[in-house]
């Protein structure tokens, strides 16, 4: 009989993820929606749909294909993977790299590949946080078992859960930590700066062919998904420890578990209950724990790495700049970033992080925080990141697209909104949102 997991085992697993500074890596994740010329979502089963896209990608990449039943759902190779989000969004989970130049080259190659295979087809790749025209209730779910579980579970706890699943796209960066104390410092800095992060990359002002009133409607959508697994966890709100993080995860209700090739509903049990009481006489393994970690979605998440998750999908060059920003801040200038993040948090005295995040999601960089424009905070943050990259001997020009953005004082979604107001046709807006 397998050893029963304990709290100490789970805490120890996080210590096992710690890496010395000389082994720190950088990984990016990039979700993109593909739509028809009229803005409708591309279906999995369409003749040139999502299944066809995976097939065409694999004919060029020759990666290992993963299937659920008869349906291909993932490609893996070269330390990376290409996976599907619930509404057919295609995600590159990039390989971990030592240098930002290699990360940049990887995502640029992937973009070129997507555009090449789509040539001659009514396929338009978008770089925004929410599909701008497709009706959410008309987007079909891809045939993955875990998404069937999520489809049924999440709407009970958040009225925009299906919007999140089927319509949203983000960019994420994954960074290492060398110790529990280092993880705590990086976690606190990125958590305090989450409102500024969402403002910087806010790029989802449109939904179903209309203005949403939000610069990042994606940010708002996430606030209306199961609050027990999203946002800013109370257990680590004021100070991260591996044990506090594990306690949060143990009490987050499970959506599913996996046994003998089948996805099964959890009955809303917590992982703690599974560990102590079992389910049908079975107790969880470490693999079950790692699966559970993928079903919890706070703005900053710790798995094997620290994941910064608050950014809408943006253009390739701005997505690279996002990864460079956080690499410079957390790898190259952590002490100064912590001080900056503390000043930013103090400027919002009287407001919770949730309130700051909601404000930044609504107005983007044109909002204020502590009687100062968010765009002014963003200018200083970009300068600090540049200093950090110089310390790391990284290519600071990767931040140029971010500098150009903050110089305008507007979030990327503002340009998308301008295009829509000038000409709301799908053809015009999709040109403005083109990946």
Q: Where are the domains of the chain?
A: 7-432
pLDDT of 241: 97
CA distances from 248 to 228, 229, 285, 309 (A): 9, 9, 18, 18
* Per-residue confidence band for 4, with pLDDT thresholds at 50, 70 and 90: confident
- Residue 253 pLDDT > 60: yes
Which residue has 């080259």 as its token pair?
105
pLDDT of 2: 56
Per the prediction, the chain carries an average pLDDT of 97
The torsion angles phi and psi of 53, rounded to 5 degrees, stand at -60, -45
Strand ranges in 36-79 using DSSP code E only, listed in sequence order: 64-68, 71-77
The torsion angles phi and psi of 177, rounded to 5 degrees, stand at -140, 145
- Give the whole-angstrom CA distance, residue 124 versus residue 432: 11
* Per-residue confidence band for 3, with pLDDT thresholds at 50, 70 and 90: low
Q: Measured in Å, how far apart are the chain's first and last C-alpha atoms? A: 51
The torsion angles phi and psi of 77, rounded to 5 degrees, stand at 175, 160
- Give the whole-angstrom CA distance, residue 122 versus residue 65: 25
| 400-408 helix and 316-327 helix, angle to the nearest 10 degrees | 100
Per residue in 316-364, pLDDT (tens digit) is 999 999 999 999 999 999 999 999 999 999 999 989 999 999 999 999 9
- Residue 69 pLDDT > 70: yes
210 contacts: CB under 8 Å, gap ≥ 6? none
* Per-residue confidence band for 237, with pLDDT thresholds at 50, 70 and 90: confident
Per residue in 398-414, pLDDT (tens digit) is 999 999 999 999 999 99
Q: Among residues of the chain, what percentage have pLDDT more than 90? A: 96
Would you say 292 and 307 are in contact if contact means Cβ atoms under 8 Å apart?
Answer: no
Instruction: Over range 31-38, report the average pLDDT.
Output: 98
pLDDT of 1: 43
Would you say 285 and 369 are in contact if contact means Cβ atoms under 8 Å apart?
Answer: no
Per residue in 93-103, pLDDT (tens digit) is 999 999 999 99
CA distances from 363 to 64, 97, 134, 171, 322 (A): 43, 34, 23, 20, 19
Instruction: Over range 248-266, report the average pLDDT.
Output: 94
- Residue 34 pLDDT > 50: yes
Q: Which of 156-165, 193-202, 275-284, 401-410 has the lowest mean pLDDT?
A: 275-284
337 contacts: CB under 8 Å, gap ≥ 6? 189, 193, 329, 330, 384, 388
* Per-residue confidence band for 61, with pLDDT thresholds at 50, 70 and 90: very high
pLDDT of 238: 82
Per residue in 364-420, pLDDT (tens digit) is 999 999 999 999 999 999 999 999 999 999 999 999 999 999 999 999 999 999 999
68 forms bridges with which residues in the sheet? 71
- pTM to 2 decimals? 0.97
Per residue in 131-142, pLDDT (tens digit) is 999 999 999 999
CATH architecture of the domain with residue range 7-432? 2-Layer Sandwich (3.30)
- Give the whole-angstrom CA distance, residue 91 versus residue 319: 13
Q: Which of 17-21, 37-41, 129-133, 349-353 has the lowest mean pLDDT?
A: 349-353
């Amino acid at each position: 009989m397998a050893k029963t997991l304990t709290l100490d085992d789970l805490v120890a697993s996080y210590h096992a993820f710690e890496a010395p500074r000389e082994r720190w890596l950088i990984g990016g994740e990039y979700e993109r929606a593909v739509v028809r010329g009229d803005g409708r979502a591309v279906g999995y089963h369409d003749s040139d749909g999502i299944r066809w896209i995976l097939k065409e990608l694999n004919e060029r990449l020759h990666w290992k294909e993963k299937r659920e039943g008869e349906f291909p759902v993932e490609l893996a190779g070269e330390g990376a993977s290409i996976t599907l989000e619930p509404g057919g969004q295609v995600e590159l989970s990039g390989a971990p790299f030592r240098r930002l130049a290699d990360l940049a080259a990887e995502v640029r190659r992937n973009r070129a590949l997507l555009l090449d295979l789509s040539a001659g087809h009514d396929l338009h790749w978008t770089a925004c946080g929410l599909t701008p025209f497709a009706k959410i209730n008309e987007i079909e779910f891809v045939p993955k078992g875990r998404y069937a579980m999520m489809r049924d579970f999440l709407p009970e706890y958040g009225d925009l859960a299906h919007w999140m699943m089927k319509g949203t796209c983000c960019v994420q960066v994954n960074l290492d930590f060398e110790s529990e104390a280092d993880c705590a410092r990086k976690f606190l800095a990125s958590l305090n700066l989450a409102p500024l992060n969402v403002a910087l990359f806010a790029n989802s002002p449109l939904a179903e062919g209309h203005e949403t009133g939000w610069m990042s409607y994606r940010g708002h959508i996430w606030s209306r998904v199961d609050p027990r697994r999203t946002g800013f966890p109370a257990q680590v709100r004021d100070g991260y420890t591996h044990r506090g993080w594990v306690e949060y995860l143990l009490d987050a209700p499970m959506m599913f578990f996996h046994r003998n090739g089948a996805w099964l509903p959890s009955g809303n049990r917590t992982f703690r209950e599974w560990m102590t009481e079992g389910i049908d006489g079975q107790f969880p393994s470490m693999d079950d724990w790692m699966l559970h970690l993928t079903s919890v979605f706070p703005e900053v998440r710790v798995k094997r790495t620290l994941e910064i998750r608050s950014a809408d999908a943006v253009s390739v060059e701005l997505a690279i700049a996002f990864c460079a920003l956080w690499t410079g801040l957390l790898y190259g200038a952590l002490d100064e970033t912590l001080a900056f993040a503390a000043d930013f948090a103090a400027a919002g005295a009287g407001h919770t992080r949730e309130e700051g995040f909601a404000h930044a999601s609504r107005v983007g960089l044109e909002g204020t925080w502590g009687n100062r424009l968010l765009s002014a905070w963003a200018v200083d943050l970009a300068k600090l990141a540049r200093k950090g990259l110089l310390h790391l001997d990284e290519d600071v020009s990767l931040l140029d697209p971010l500098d150009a953005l903050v110089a305008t004082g507007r979030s990327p979604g503002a340009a998308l909104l301008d295009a829509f107001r000038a000409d709301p046709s799908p053809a015009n807006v999709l040109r403005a949102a083109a990946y």
